[in-house]
Amino acid sequence: MKRQFKLFAFLILIFLVGSCNDKSGEMVKDPVAPVLNTPDDGSTLVIDGTNLASEQTFGWEAADFGAQVAVSYEIQIDIDGGAFANPSILSGDLTGTSVNVTYEAINDAVIDDLAQETNTEVAVDVRVVATSAGFDDLISNVIGMTITTYEEEVIEEPEYANIWVAGTFQGWDNTNFISLTSAADNGVYEGYLYLPEGQLDFKLYENQNDWGPDSWGTDNDGSGTIYVANEACCNFAADAFGTNWVEVDIPNLTYKLVAMSWGIIGDATPTGWDSDTELVYNSETQALEVTLDLVAAGSFKFRANGAWQHDFGVDADGKLAYADHLTDGYTEGINNITVSEDGNYTVTLDLHNSNEYTYSVVKN
């Protein structure tokens, strides 16, 4: 009887041991899902143009399928509340327990895969999914993040209507016309020409790099009128060499041609608001410039011909803008130009491109 009991107990033991092994003889345990622990739940990530190459670390505790099997992981991201119905895969086929993903890749996933807006805060969910052949996937906990997406703002340059200038000053070169611009696209064009001594005549043309079909000239009789002219007749002629401002009104066939000596004036300059410091033309850069000491306690403007009739300040965006204009008059809201600290500066006023006048103030 005792021998039968021992045999029975031995058979039960064999049964129990066999129940803890799979068909290959490996011990089988309850599966354990991975645990995502990096980054912290509720963390924020602000992506901008300076940090696209930076990396976000995702780390987790390993999954356990209850057997000695090969395991791979992928990092999934979805919009908050999306329940991972259609997630984006940030990284996959991973065999370790951490991965670094660039901000740029995260940004692309949120914008392109999850169809979210650019340059805005987006709430997302992140999880880890573990897979192994022959087993159901094991899914981690979910952490929430707030990601500020990024897309470089492309500022489209305005397309202006232009009329074209050729003259002695540029060798009557019809492959290198100079433009006058109509920012309002109303047939009134303006721009600045630097005319060297003895090279003061020019003509206007309808088409770039094309002598025809229409060109405009004037009799230079003081009437300020223009008319359609042929190639050989009736050039404009400036009264003085140097920087000349040109404004042409094609609908009314009138023009203004004014020699302009530019300077800067203000309490940031050595002579204050009492007088201008002259700008000198640089033929290499085609800009007007001066080097002088400026003080941060003051400010200045660019002024033509020593009078408050034609001058530049800056608009609310810091771009060069007319404060006074010989034709258009005074403009509200144009500010003076300032510097951040005392020092010696090179100040430049670039008027050679009529589509965009610019300035710079560079500390030496």
- With a pLDDT cut of 70, the percent of the chain lying above it is 90
Q: Which residues pair with 35 in a beta bridge?
A: 61
Domains and CATH numbers, the chain: 31-148 (2.60.40.10), 161-259 (2.60.40.3620), 262-363 (2.60.40)
**CA of residue 334 relative to chain centroid, distance:** 24
Strands 143-148 and 201-205: unpaired
Cβ neighbours for 244, distance < 8 A, ≥ 6 positions apart:
192, 193, 194, 195, 238, 257, 258, 259, 260
* Consecutive H or E run containing 202: strand 201-205
The rounded distance, in Å, linking the Cα atoms of 60 and 160 is 57
The rounded distance, in Å, linking the Cα atoms of 177 and 204 is 9
Q: What is the pTM of this model?
A: 0.60
Mean pLDDT of 328-346: 96
Return the C-alpha torsion angle 104, 107, 111, 114, nearest 10.
120
Instruction: Answer yes or no: are the C-beta atoms of 328 and 322 closer than 8 Å.
Output: yes
State pLDDT tens for residues 227-280. Answer: 887 666 789 999 999 999 999 999 999 999 999 999 999 999 999 999 999 999
State pLDDT tens for residues 157-203. Answer: 667 899 999 999 999 998 999 999 998 999 999 999 999 999 999 99
pLDDT of residue 82: 94
State pLDDT tens for residues 105-143. Answer: 999 999 999 999 999 999 999 999 999 999 999 999 999
Look at residue 355 and tell me whether its pLDDT is greater than 60.
yes
